[in-house]
Structure 1
Amino acid sequence: QTYRAAYILLNTDEGDYSRKVTNERICEVLRIGMRTIDRVKKRFVEEGFEATLERRPSQRVYERKVDGDVEAKLVALCCSAPPEGYARWSLRLLADKMVEWEYIDKISHVTVGKV
């Protein structure tokens, strides 16, 4: 995103020593929409050069889905023998068993892998 914003700002500059590049050409080169160019220009005007090149910190608050109790149950499940017909535990199989045994309402294999 930093590269994209810098490219947009450099190519939309209308100074004496710069070539005029159309917004359409920038869209073609970067494979972006006109709204992206407008947002970068607006942020540059309102917040300045440095702010335009830096990523904004996420405002989203992530709620922890797996607490210590669920994590302990997951570890115990991992250490147990896999179900009949399976040679080993997979992340999806662990996630399915955690829900089946009602240790947690829902959990993805990705979350299981992170634990």
Structure 2
Amino acid sequence: MGLFERQFFWNLYVYTEVLMDKKYLVRLTDEERAICEATIKMGTGKSEKLRRAIVLLKADVDGPAWHDTKISEAVGCRRQTVENVRQAFVLEGFEGALVRKKRAMPPTPKMLDGMAEAKLIAMRLGKPPAGFGHWTLRLLADQMVELQIVDSISPETVRQTLKKTA
């Protein structure tokens, strides 16, 4: 997106952004600009939404029209983030650029379904095996594998499941 030029300044090379036409230009309507300003003024909500509102306002061609590098320094994010917000505005619209879209699927599938969670809770509430005074997370995990409820499970997954249902 941005082209950088290497300039020699004293004993340092300084990289400066060379102005060139952006592929994704932000042109906010008066209503969208008002929403961004209201979001910033309220100062409540997710910091990511505030950051995106500031980026949209500063990148507005009809407004300040700052360069990506200047916006990223002012907002405290990477230049790529500014470019991504610009691209989201053009491709997905104002709402898509302002609010981050939720994942359709989690990055890793759940280890335990409802039936396996129910069996884990029932096991936890029952008596521990002979020779043990109480259930430990590792003992519960080993018992779930032994009973072939799951192929493998970590004590941390057992802890999170029990914490979630407690």
Distance in 2 separating the partners of 1:64 and 1:103:
11
Q: How many residues align?
A: 111
Equivalent positions of 1:44-83 (< 5 A) are 44-60=89-105, 62=109, 65-68=112-115, 70-82=116-128
Single out whichever of 94-103 and 5-14 deviates more from structure 2.
94-103
Q: Secondary structure at the match of 2:127?
A: coil
Which one is further off, 35-44 or 59-68? 59-68
Offset, 1:42: 0.9
Q: CA RMSD in A?
A: 3.0
Q: What is the alpha-carbon distance in structure 2 between the residues aligned to residue 111 and residue 3 of structure 1?
A: 33
Q: How far apart are 1:38 and its partner, in Å?
A: 0.8
Matched residue, 1:89: 135
Q: Percentage identity across aligned positions? A: 34
Give TM-score, length-normalised by structure 1: 0.67
Larger Rg: 2
Q: Name the TM-score, length of structure 2 as normaliser.
A: 0.51
Q: Which runs of 5+ in 2 are unaligned?
A: 1-47
Task: Name which of structure 1's ranges 77-86 and 97-106 shifts more when overlaid on structure 2.
Answer: 77-86
Normalized per residue, the structure richer in helix is: 1
Distance of aligned partners of 1:74 and 1:12 in 2 relative to their CA distance in 1, 3 Å threshold: same
Q: Please report how far the alpha carbon of residue 91 of structure 1 lies from its aligned counterpart in structure 2 after TM superposition.
A: 4.2
Q: Which has the higher contact order (CA 8 A, sep 6+)?
A: 1
Structure richer in strand, relative to its length: 2
